[in-house]
Structure 1
Amino acid sequence: MTAEDDAKLARLRETLQSNVDLTTYETEVYLALVRGGTQTMTDVAEASEVPKQRVYDIVDRLRERGLVEVIDDYPQKAYAVDPSESFSSIRDQLSQAETYLEDLHDTVEKVESGVALFKSESTIRRYISDLVQSAERDVFLLVPVSRLGVVVDDLAACTDQQVRLVVSNVSTESNDIGDGASIPDTVDKVRFVSTREDFALTTDRRRGLYWVQEGYEHVDDDGQGYYVTNPSLALVLDRFLSESIWPLATPLGDETELPALPKEYIRIRDCLADLSSLTTAYSVDSFEVRFEGYDTETGEKVTRRGTLTSYYYTEYDIRASLTVNVGADAASVDSSVVTVGDTGARNVDYAASRIELRQNGTTHTSEIDSETRRHLEACRTELPDSFGDASAVLCFDAFIDRMREFIHRAPGGDYERIRKFDAFREELVRYETSDAPPRVEWRETRTEPGGLVAHVGGVFDELGYDVTLIGRMGDPIRPEFAHPFQNQTLVTLGQVTSTDYVWFEDRKFLLTEPNFDRINWQVIEDRIGASEFAGLVDGNTVLSIGSWYSTAELVDIVDAFRTELWPRLEAPPKHVHFVPGEVTHLSPAELERGCEALAALDDVVTVTITASRSQTRRFRDALLDDGGDTEPTVERLRRRFGVSRYVMQSQNGATVATPDEVLSARAPQVVDPHQLRNAEEHFLSGMTLALTEDLSPGASLVLANSVASIFMRHNRAPEPAELRSFIAEYDTYLSNT
């Protein structure tokens, strides 16, 4: 016998003694009979090396257990019963014991680690079946083609769940997964990959099973399965399937059919995949989103709904999000537009565990509220019979906007414009997996005047007002300013800088050259002269100044207006309109300094601050203590700045705080706007116009909303008749949008 045979025989002896309960002598006698066939007791004693006087008793005991039979002859003989027959009763007993033990066994759902290891294929199959049958909403599978038979019967019963299946180990030559009819119709989508993959299953993103397949080099023990009950670990497995395997798999059949709504999702990427198809036929804002999840900053559970405004999605980028207008009140400082990501996402406002998508009958259905109607009636009454009788001075924010568009080369060599910001972002994402540096092509379409001076000045010029523009417009003044404002007064304070203004259909992208030439009161005196500057301001109704972002020493200029300019004026402006612009770079100390200067200026002239919702949040966080004050934030900021009016503008509307009251007016929501560029600036134009005509605070909000809305609809400043017509039909735009 070989050494290997000896080892096998030793293991057999151990098995018989440990599991069949044979003694050492019984084992040796039994093996002698198995190996030698029918033998006399003398032959058995010699073969087994068991004393002959003991062999007779041992054979009798083995016969009682059904392992051997005795031939009553002389001399007496014995032989071993066929092992398959003699051990059948033992196998039956073990099977019964196994069944009973499984009934008694505590379920693996209760294992503390959240992961149970199985090595029995029958047990693995049973838990696969249990998982699929107990799924409430969602089943996601990765199945080697040879294992399809394990799941088809259970999948056929999934009539109420969404089921997606990836079949792996498919031949690259035939792309054949076998009998297509074996995949039940209850499977919503099927894809396949040619790579060799293990079996993986998740249900409802909360439980899963990973079954290592036989013959893999990286596995020590073939066929082991990991049953996952820990929701966090199950989510990791689900993301492996949905974000790594699914995007690279090839669809089996047509996936172009538009999904039926309403529909619920537990993965944001599934929702976004459907949206990418739906938005080829419908506008983005024709969809309503309801989501359940949590605030990524506080962890607080939330349920919110709103209108979809945009989304970001590509199958090859793990980043994915929705942008939803949840319709915050116009007076609320918190933004009405929020970002929503998947469970575990961090760079969004909310992480959603469940999303419902449905199509709106209309985009916005709210009727005009009583307060907005009251301010609208005031605006209609107070609007002057003709525009252009007053005048304004606009300082200091001026740029040249080089209007550009990103392009890419289409097949055939022709260039196409990249129209959506998300498409541009996707172009950049592709470079993350490339060694090549990002290369983006663009072209300049035109140049035009930009900044507060140009945007507000353009509205005033179109409506027939005399306006004085003061800012850095070039030495000499650049044609971009000189030509459109040839009938107005232009005063330059130095060289102009440019902003590369990339205009997408859904947002804007700015690359701005900083201007290192300072603007302060000394520069104004040197370039213009204090008396000459006073002559430019004297007799105008409004002096608009901004922005804090582009004019770092604007607060010092505000002080100089009070101490140096106003004493020189015979007919000073009735209003100063202060436009802060972007303020995130300003320190709390700088903001405090601004409060002091503006409060002092308000002692000699009525000061109005107009800020966006995001700028207002910055002011709140830097200037107000969180003392549980129930007053509106805009009123608290008005008092903090020490000014007569504080106006906050948002997409939904605007709010103004005065010493007497806080007023709000809703704005018409523009469905599929011509563009969003400069909407905030043109609200500022409308507010400056309202101050010029000395409208009441509520009426001013309606006029400013109207100017901004017309610009968003038509991408241009309003004509006089057009502005009057819009205000006359303002309530119609609210109820029908």
Structure 2
Amino acid sequence: MRFEEDDSCMDEDDQFIRRILVNNFSLSDYEADVYISLLRTGKQSMADIAGSSGVPRQRVYDITEKLQDEGLVEVINESPKHAYALPPSDAFQSVQDEINVAMTHMEDMYQTQEDIGTEIAMFKNEATIENYLERIVEIPSVTISLTFPYQLLGKYETIFRQIPDDVHSKCIISNVPREFIEDQTINLESVTTLASQVRGTPKEEPVAICADRETCLLWIGHPAHAGPNTSEGFHITSPEVSFLFDRFITDLLWSQSKPIRLSEHVQELPRTFLRIKDCIEYVSSVRELGTSETLLVEIEGFDTRRKQPISIAGELLDYYQSNSDIRAYLVINAEDHDSNSGNVVSVGGWNSGIEDYEARQITLRDKNIKNNDDKN
């Protein structure tokens, strides 16, 4: 009696295997019955297979030949003809390999995320975190700040080198091996062109990347982490939260890290900054090298007294910044659009209260280059 006609003669394992073979491997009912019979009994003649499987003997010959073509059984052309099942681990290895490849691709595609809020999403899949890492470097139009472990640079360095040259980038390399640290500097020339400004620290830090102070990626438990590799990533689109992470990187971590980049390297003007301290650091480098005598400043921000948006421009006269003081400001001779007369004003950074204006965006230009452009 065939298994299909009376499943009661099959144990639960046989029923389960038969269902898998028919539903998932496209075997016919007869083919599944013959294969299970050979798995159970080993080498058999065609007559024995017909008896143990319940499949008509005239069909057994064709079925065993087809199963041999599928790589599931081996047919012995002797008299009488026999057949036996190949080890399942060998017979289904190619299928298993294809499943593994497919699973890898699907894991890469799958967006494993848990919404924590409308502006924060958490990812637990490392491939998803890597996808967001590639995306975030394409976002900034003005500035990007990041911390990244030395041990992962080999894998991800090409991603960071896609950041456009006109985007001001500040990079802190964490987990720097002690052999690269010399007094107050880090001897790691291979990363000096990774960003506009590069520093390093032997301390372990999470991966944190902030684009334009509006979008942030935080990767905790990354592969270079000393503890368990939990690979939890957070994609943050809240400007308020991203702003705090940017301050954490550019103020706290930056002040605690050691310089890597050579001071002689200064990127060309014009350049745009969101942080006034970045602007002043650039101006200091320009003045030290004597590459530009007169700088023009364009400010987009707020009037600290009137609490109104402003746009001003003028010649840079002076600036102030100190490691022991949280204040930083520019002094410019602002153009008076009504009378064309000069007006010396002070411009501070975020949350300024003493200065005349609070800068949200600062653009530096070389006066000589601008004049040449105007003539053209």
Q: TM-score, normalised by structure 2?
A: 0.63
Percent of aligned pairs with the same residue?
A: 24
Shift of 1:118: 1.8
Task: Identify if the C-alpha distance between structure 1 residues 133 and 297 changes in structure 2 by more than 3 Å, giving closer, same or farther.
Answer: same
C-alpha contact (below 8 Å) 1:199/1:210 kept by paired residues: yes
Aligned to 1:167, the other structure's residue is in SS state strand
Give the alignment partner of residue 251 of structure 1, picking from 233, 255, 259.
259
Aligned to 1:294, the other structure's residue is in SS state strand
Q: How many pairs were matched up?
A: 304
- Tell me the residue number matched to 1:352: 359
Task: Identify if the C-alpha distance between structure 1 residues 254 and 80 changes in structure 2 by more than 3 Å, giving closer, same or farther.
Answer: same
C-alpha contact (below 8 Å) 2:142/2:272 kept by paired residues: no
Code of the residue aligned with 1:141 in structure 2: it is: L
Task: Identify if the C-alpha distance between structure 1 residues 299 and 91 changes in structure 2 by more than 3 Å, giving closer, same or farther.
Answer: farther
Give the alignment partner of residue 301 of structure 1, picking from 303, 309, 314.
309
C-alpha contact (below 8 Å) 2:123/2:233 kept by paired residues: yes
- Tell me the residue number matched to 2:125: 120
1:342 aligned onto 2:342: no
Quote the Cα distance in structure 2 between the aligned partners of 1:174 and 1:346.
Answer: 42
Structure holding more strand per residue: 2
C-alpha contact (below 8 Å) 1:135/1:204 kept by paired residues: yes
Q: Deviations over 1:225-276 (max 9, x none)?
A: 2222222222222211211222232222421556654432221111111334
Give the alignment partner of residue 100 of structure 2, picking from 87, 91, 96.
91
Quote the Cα distance in structure 2 between the aligned partners of 1:56 and 1:114.
Answer: 61
- Tell me the residue number matched to 2:148: 143
Q: Deviations over 1:90-115 (max 9, x none)?
A: 3355456567x66xx7x99x996222
Code of the residue aligned with 1:237 in structure 2: it is: F
1:164 aligned onto 2:152: no
Shift of 1:117: 1.7
C-alpha contact (below 8 Å) 1:125/1:150 kept by paired residues: no
C-alpha contact (below 8 Å) 2:300/2:310 kept by paired residues: yes
Give the alignment partner of residue 199 of structure 2, picking from 191, 195, 217.
191
Shift of 1:144: 0.5
Q: Deviations over 1:399-437 (max 9, x none)?
A: xxxxxxxxxxxxxxxxxxxxxxxxxxxxxxxxxxxxxxx
Aligned to 2:327, the other structure's residue is in SS state coil
Quote the Cα distance in structure 1 between the aligned partners of 2:311 and 2:235.
Answer: 32
1:295-444 superposed matches below 5 A: 295-296=303-304, 299-326=307-334, 336-358=343-365
Quote the Cα distance in structure 2 between the aligned partners of 1:359 and 1:329.
Answer: 20
Task: Identify if the C-alpha distance between structure 1 residues 193 and 179 changes in structure 2 by more than 3 Å, giving closer, same or farther.
Answer: closer
- Tell me the residue number matched to 2:40: 41
C-alpha contact (below 8 Å) 1:70/1:78 kept by paired residues: yes
Code of the residue aligned with 2:364 in structure 1: it is: L
Structure 1 residue ranges without an equivalent (≥5): 1-22, 31-37, 44-54, 362-737
- Tell me the residue number matched to 1:290: 298
Task: Identify if the C-alpha distance between structure 1 residues 42 and 130 changes in structure 2 by more than 3 Å, giving closer, same or farther.
Answer: same
Q: Which has the higher contact order (CA 8 A, sep 6+)?
A: 2
Task: Identify if the C-alpha distance between structure 1 residues 93 and 357 changes in structure 2 by more than 3 Å, giving closer, same or farther.
Answer: closer
Tell which structure's C-alpha radius of gyration is larger: 1
Aligned to 2:314, the other structure's residue is in SS state strand
Aligned to 1:141, the other structure's residue is in SS state strand
Quote the Cα distance in structure 2 between the aligned partners of 1:123 and 1:341.
Answer: 39
Code of the residue aligned with 1:292 in structure 2: it is: E
C-alpha contact (below 8 Å) 2:150/2:175 kept by paired residues: yes
Q: TM-score, normalised by structure 1?
A: 0.35
Aligned to 1:205, the other structure's residue is in SS state coil
C-alpha contact (below 8 Å) 1:140/1:201 kept by paired residues: yes
Quote the Cα distance in structure 2 between the aligned partners of 1:154 and 1:171.
Answer: 22
Q: Deviations over 1:584-625 (max 9, x none)?
A: xxxxxxxxxxxxxxxxxxxxxxxxxxxxxxxxxxxxxxxxxx
What is the root-mean-square deviation in Å for CA atoms of aligned residues?
4.6
Shift of 1:148: 0.8
Quote the Cα distance in structure 2 between the aligned partners of 1:175 and 1:327.
Answer: 47
Task: Identify if the C-alpha distance between structure 1 residues 270 and 24 changes in structure 2 by more than 3 Å, giving closer, same or farther.
Answer: farther
Quote the Cα distance in structure 1 between the aligned partners of 2:98 and 2:337.
Answer: 78
Quote the Cα distance in structure 2 between the aligned partners of 1:139 and 1:351.
Answer: 21
1:268 aligned onto 2:279: no
Shift of 1:303: 0.6
Quote the Cα distance in structure 1 between the aligned partners of 2:328 and 2:238.
Answer: 24
Code of the residue aligned with 2:100 in structure 1: it is: R
Quote the Cα distance in structure 1 between the aligned partners of 2:141 and 2:193.
Answer: 18
Task: Identify if the C-alpha distance between structure 1 residues 56 and 29 changes in structure 2 by more than 3 Å, giving closer, same or farther.
Answer: farther
Aligned to 1:201, the other structure's residue is in SS state strand
Aligned to 1:240, the other structure's residue is in SS state helix
Quote the Cα distance in structure 1 between the aligned partners of 2:332 and 2:187.
Answer: 44
Quote the Cα distance in structure 1 between the aligned partners of 2:86 and 2:296.
Answer: 86
- Tell me the residue number matched to 1:231: 239
Code of the residue aligned with 2:218 in structure 1: it is: Y
